[in-house]
A and B are shown apart, each in its own frame.
Chain A
Amino acid sequence: MSTVLDLFTIVTVSSGVLFFLAGVVGLLRFPDALTRLHALTKADNVGLGLIVAGLLPQAGSVLAGLKLLLVWLTVLLAGATVGQLIARVARRAEPRP
């Protein structure tokens, strides 16, 4: 059982790191601010979500597990709010097509 959980952790955390990598590549390579924001929010939400999911079997206690989920929910809420706000600023700053 422990081996299965360890395997789950390795696969999920690796996927999370991959999402962070993809987010950074998108942030550096995408052509304008809104597409870069799109890449960034995926790294924020899915990347951290996968890492938290992978860490849950290793947390050791229920409290630590709940705290991990709380961190993820906080980042989700902040990411959703801030994504909208930054998009508004970026849209005003760019010239109309």
Chain B
Amino acid sequence: MNAFLMAAAGAVLITVVVGLVRILRGPGDADRVMAAQLLGTGGVAALLLAGIARGRPATLDVALTLAVLAAFVSIAFVKGAALAQDAAAPPGGDA
């Protein structure tokens, strides 16, 4: 069972890393952030699988931390994008 769980963790990681191709291709900033967010979720899944398989409960705390931090990445991106749009189009224009 443990070998199966580790194999599943590896499969999730490989899948998500393949998804990072989207960061190279773009085209928009939102697409790149989506790939980064998928990496976050995939990392959480792999950590959970590996933590249970190896019997290390502390890994679950690491996964929880990664889940929170991955959410902050996207929120920081959205705040930054909103600031950039406000700077590009001053208020009063055709928004």
B contact residues vs A (CB 8 Å cutoff): 1, 4-5, 8, 11-12, 15-16, 18-19, 21-22, 28-31, 33-35, 37-38, 41-42, 44-45, 48-49, 52, 55, 57, 60-61, 63-64, 67-68, 70-71, 74-75, 77-78, 81-82, 85
Q: Beta-carbon contacts of A18-46 to B below 8 Å, as 1s and 0s?
A: 00110110011000010011001001100
Whether B67 contacts A17 by the Cβ 8 Å rule is no
Please indicate the chain A residues that have their CB under 8 angstroms from the CB of B49 in the complex: 13, 51, 55
Does the CB pair B19–A68 fall under 8 Å? no
- Report chain B residues within 8 Å CB of A60: 52, 55
Question: Is B31 a contact partner of A33 (Cβ separation < 8 A)?
Answer: yes
User: 7 pairs across A/B with beta carbons < 8 Å?
Assistant: A13-B49, A16-B45, A17-B11, A17-B15, A43-B38, A68-B48, A75-B41
Known: A40-B38, A70-B64. A86 touches B30 (CB 8 A): yes
Please tell me if the beta carbons of A85 and B22 are within 8 angstroms of each other in the complex.
no
Contact yes or no, A51 B48, CB < 8 A: yes
Taking a contact as CB atoms under 8 Å apart, the answer to whether A89 and B30 are in contact is yes
Cross-chain contact A48 with B5 (CB below 8 angstroms): no
Residues of A within 8 A of B (CB): 6, 9-10, 13-14, 16-17, 20-21, 23-24, 27-28, 33, 36-37, 40, 43-44, 47-48, 51-52, 55, 58-61, 63-64, 67-68, 70-71, 74-75, 78-79, 81-82, 85-86, 88-90, 92-94
Q: Are A58 and B34 in contact (CB under 8 A)?
A: no
* Complex alpha-carbon distance, A64 and B61, angstroms: 10
Whole-angstrom distance between the alpha carbons of A51 and B22 in the complex? 24
Question: Contact check: which of A20, A33, A93 meets B15 at CB < 8 Å?
Answer: A20
